[in-house]
A = this chain, B = another copy of it.
């Protein structure tokens, strides 16, 4: 075990404001490398105009302590200037990034792909781990790594949830106490949809009805729903009939806070 880890570099790319979700990625990476690097960079190019870049939660000292507590060797926290001085190069992944978050956050995935490729190259990591809460981001990165032959292994780890099911997110701190209660509906509704989809063969009409009902339920609870859909987990293309391994994805606003989540139909 130890020999296998010798000389290996593991990377967990993050935007900081650590929670248990980040720590679980770090613990997972820690098992398999000699040097564990966590990058902390609130990447301006992945925020669309009018988004929460300037108020995105930042707490580097606390982050550093938390990273230390799980055995991180290097916390790499570059400045925007260091990452982008004079930069003119952008990586775009078509298809998989076009819909959902890509449609609602113009330029978001170009920003993600570009910064992640840079981090891979700077760290020269053997592997990197990403959280499946950002399912489409995982799909975009998987595609980029294959398409550009990046010499790195990418892994994806399960979403960590609060006791009531809410997916952990740095943005959860934006939730008012009232919105925090409502927010639990999101994962519950995903689970309800996934359970329905897992129960035998459904027609396209039935799938549509289930998603429509789910959307209505969320909207009557106060959500503004950007999308609630059944998709292929790798291509992110919408599905009209469910298959094992597909995912149900959702993005919705409650008050000023935009939340995303997804669950996978059991394989």
Which residues of A line the B interface, CB within 8 A?
86-96, 113-114, 117-118, 121-122, 124, 143-144, 146-151
A121/B150 in contact, CB under 8 A: yes
Q: Report, nearest first, the 6 A-B pairs whose CB atoms are least far apart.
A: A89-B147, A121-B149, A88-B94, A87-B147, A88-B95, A89-B93
Complex CA–CA separation, A149 to B143 (angstroms) = 20
Q: Is the CB of A89 within 8 A of B118?
A: no
**Smallest Cβ-Cβ distance to A84: which chain B residue:** B147
Residue of B nearest to A94 (CB): B88
Residues of B within 8 A of A117 (CB): 148
Contact B91 A90 (CB under 8 A): yes
CB contacts (< 8 Å) of A149 on chain B: these are: 118, 121-122
Give the complex CA separation of A90 and B92 in angstroms: 5
Closest to A119 in B: B149
A88 contacts which of B87, B121, B122, B147 (Cβ < 8 Å)?
B147
The answer to whether B94 and A92 touch across the interface, beta carbons within 8 angstroms, is no
Residues of B within 8 A of A118 (CB): 147-149
Query: Which of A87, A146, A150 has most B Cβ within 10 Å?
Result: A87
Cα–Cα distance between A151 and B124 once the two chains are bound (Å): 8
In the assembly, what is the distance between CA of A102 and CA of B88, in Å? Answer: 14
A121 contacts which of B86, B122, B148 (Cβ < 8 Å)?
B148
Residues in B neighbouring A89, C-beta threshold 8 A: 91-94, 113, 143-144, 147-148
Other A-B pairs beyond A87-B146, A89-B148, A121-B151, 18, CB < 8 Å = A86-B146, A86-B147, A87-B147, A88-B93, A88-B94, A88-B143, A89-B91, A89-B94, A89-B144, A90-B92, A90-B94, A91-B91, A91-B92, A114-B148, A118-B149, A121-B149, A121-B150, A122-B149
